[in-house]
Structure 1
Amino acid sequence: MGFIEVADRVWVARYEWFDVNVSVIGGADGLLVVDTHASDLAARGVIDEIRALGAGEIVGVVNTHEHFDHTFGNHAFRTACGTIPIHAHETAAERTVSAGERIKGLYDASPVSGEDADPHREEVLATEIVAADRTFSSAVSLDLGDRLVELVHPGRGHTGGDLVVRVPDCDTLLAGDLVEESAAPGFGGDCYPLEWPWTLDILLGLTTSSSVVVPGHGAVVDREFVEVQRNQIGLVAETIRELAGRGVKVEEALRAGEWPFPGDALAQAVRRGYEQLPRSQKRLPLA
């Protein structure tokens, strides 16, 4: 749909592939790009659209976490813009290459032709993986000349290295995949379902009732949407604790619980949650 200004000098483009969002924050010193899409080829199109805004030169990139649909455009931005800094949480930067190689392995094993073939297969495989080179552990501020942009690691949730981007002067928060609008939250094989609600509590503390919140995927939302999703994720966490505390086996948990999201979206969440529970919160499986 192209870039749309959702707050003062904050633009968001929502791309059909993965329904992923790429955001741009403008300042007197240039543009900060948040997430870079899922391949080198896709990112080159993003760069053309950013330049068409005529809002300034790209001076930096932020990855909200390590997943390939948010990082595989890093190389294209480096090629087009020179040695601009790429910022990420230290855990995300450490895991970017291994996470990307795992995805490349899945694409490489996928069909080359036929109705099950992914049309993006070759461009994903051709992408050079570039990890962030500017990292932090808790929070850091970036100076864009006439405004400060804050990068905050509110805790673990969708991954171990999630960050949010706060633009205080226009009350805008770019939440990455800690918040998703177009589908159920991404409970993947590297998620932290028991900690995710607490992480969203901190994220909510960075917002106001008037905040613009940009999710990793889908339409721009408000604080109320985030509160609802936080409570849904909280219910997932509490249900995992309750079932494990009653001695329900992990293999039976999806059938035994009442869940706020479809079961096929929660298989990894349940498995991960059981693995992450301390021994004191588990009982031996019931006979």
Structure 2
Amino acid sequence: MAKEFASRGDMTEKTITFSEIGRDLWAFTAEGDPNTGVIIGDDSVMIIDAQATPRLAAKVVEKVRSVTDKPIKYVVLSHYHAVRVLGASAYGAEQVIASEKCRAMVAERGQEDWDSEFERFPRLFQGRESIPGLTWPTMTFTQKMTVYLGKRRVDLMHLGRAHTAGDIVAWVPDEGVMFTGDIVEYHSACYCGDGHFGDWGGTLNAIAGFNPRAIAPGRGDALIGDEMVSAAIENTRDFVASTYRPAAAVAARGGSLKEAWDAVRAECDPKFADYAIYEHCLPFNVARAYDEALGMDTPRIWTAERDKEMWEALQG
């Protein structure tokens, strides 16, 4: 039987958890839905990833207001995906910060991604009429930018390509805490449809090199303590490698995309089938892995039409 497209069948509201992962550092998580990070400084607040709509962002603001009345001055976008950025207007921030590459990707494929993700995640886009339009960063950087929230320092860094070409992390050195966006996941499938498999492992190495005491990942529970942090990084590494390796082997012998799909399923299903959004991500992941193995460095743009054609070919 064909599986229902992407996450269209997932209409159950998730339980929100708001966890303090360091002094005045919080992770807003919701059972595998996109996470948001909160950094509270001496004089203001920084949000890491904005949620899909102002309606969802309002839930983050409610949690923030339960712990501080300081103004939300910055919204940081870890990458360009619609479920991460289109709720930004709800925060009333003075600045929206992202990598220069992220801003370029909004220009290149932001509208297509919005249309695509709206079809994939109907629950997350409830209240979509309140989205004012594409979210455009007002400040960008190429490799590193430091922001001071009073005395609290936050380093925003592009450590390498992974989930997208424009990924950034936020590092809070006074507590040894990192907000990684979707470079690291915890018991949630990595979405690799815009990914760079060959670079992802090196970017994970760079994150591990900071020896973070805690991580707020892109999806899944907050990661607190060396053991949990290390396990999540290595689990993410295994997920990415287990997706790419069989697809690349099929591509190398001239096999078809459907053969790559079967090979990836054979390796990944036993390990990851119970992860959040696994079935949703898998066709997009295999399609991108196959393309990269054939030498396509820049991921093709996903559109609502291409999504469904690919889904029917693989999950149909």
The change in CA–CA distance for 1:269 and 1:118 in structure 2 (over 3 A counts) is closer
Distance in 1 separating the partners of 2:215 and 2:71 = 24
Partner of 1:30: 44
Distance in 2 separating the partners of 1:259 and 1:139 = 37
Whether contact under 8 Å (1:177, 1:216) holds in the other structure is yes
Residue 192 of structure 2 corresponds to residue 194 of structure 1: no
Amino acid at match of 1:138: Q
The change in CA–CA distance for 1:119 and 1:179 in structure 2 (over 3 A counts) is closer
How many residue pairs get aligned? The number is 265
Partner of 1:6: 21
Partner of 2:5: none
Report how far residue 177 of structure 1 moved: 0.8
Partner of 2:239: 232
Distance in 2 separating the partners of 1:232 and 1:30 = 37
Distance in 1 separating the partners of 2:109 and 2:98 = 14
Distance in 1 separating the partners of 2:33 and 2:104 = 25
Whether contact under 8 Å (1:29, 1:145) holds in the other structure is yes
Amino acid at match of 2:28: A
Secondary structure at the aligned position of 1:20 is classed as coil
Q: Find the structure with the greater CA-based Rg.
A: 1
The change in CA–CA distance for 1:205 and 1:254 in structure 2 (over 3 A counts) is same
Distance in 2 separating the partners of 1:8 and 1:231 = 31
Distance in 2 separating the partners of 1:245 and 1:259 = 17
Partner of 2:164: 159
Secondary structure at the aligned position of 1:201 is classed as helix
1:122-150 alpha-carbon deviations (Å, 9 max, x no partner): 52243013211111111221112222111
Residue 148 of structure 2 corresponds to residue 143 of structure 1: yes
- Give unpaired runs (5+ residues) of structure 1: 111-116, 280-287
Partner of 1:283: none
Report how far residue 239 of structure 1 moved: 2.8
Secondary structure at the aligned position of 2:136 is classed as coil
Residue 247 of structure 2 corresponds to residue 247 of structure 1: no
Secondary structure at the aligned position of 1:195 is classed as helix
Residue 272 of structure 2 corresponds to residue 267 of structure 1: no
Percentage identity across paired residues of the two chains:
26
Report how far residue 89 of structure 1 moved: 1.2
Amino acid at match of 1:192: H
Partner of 1:21: 35
After TM superposition, the structure 1 = structure 2 runs for residues 88-107 of structure 1, keeping only pairs within 5 Å, are 88-96=98-106, 99-106=109-116
Amino acid at match of 1:273: A
Provide the TM-score with structure 1 as the length reference. 0.81
Alignment RMSD: 2.7
Report how far residue 182 of structure 1 moved: 4.0
Distance in 1 separating the partners of 2:210 and 2:187 = 22
